[in-house]
Amino acid sequence: MGILVRREPKGVKCMEGYLQLKSTLKKARWLQFIKKFKDNNKEVTKKFERSFIGVEVEIGNIKFPVTESSITATTELP
């Protein structure tokens, strides 16, 4: 098995100079979602990953479902 390399987007800076890409993402309604990554919290992300089992996550004393509808509501993606 190979080495797992984890990369997370750092906002929309990588799209500067790629107007067609930015336009395509905007039309697909993904641009707003990608913009949310600029303020992500690495520790919360790690806790989310480690506690995700099936369709539920527990971070601290908060439990919440991870379903298609909750992802849609959170990310504003269709």
Residue ranges of domains in the chain: 11-38, 41-78
Tokens matching residue 53: 């089992």
Q: What is the mean pLDDT of the chain?
A: 76
Cα separation, 22 vs 66, in Å, equals 28
* Average pLDDT of the segment spanning 18-24: 79
Cα dihedral 39→69→47→31 (10° resolution): -20
Task: Identify the weakest region by mean pLDDT among 4-8, 52-56, 71-75.
Answer: 4-8
* Average pLDDT of the segment spanning 5-33: 70
> Greater confidence, 70 or 31?
70
Collect all residues with Cβ–Cβ distance below 8 Å to 53 and sequence separation of at least 6.
Answer: none
Question: pTM here?
Answer: 0.46
> Greater confidence, 77 or 15?
77
Cα separation, 2 vs 7, in Å, equals 16
Cα separation, 24 vs 27, in Å, equals 5
pLDDT at 4: 63
> What is the longest distance spanned by two Cα atoms in the chain?
43
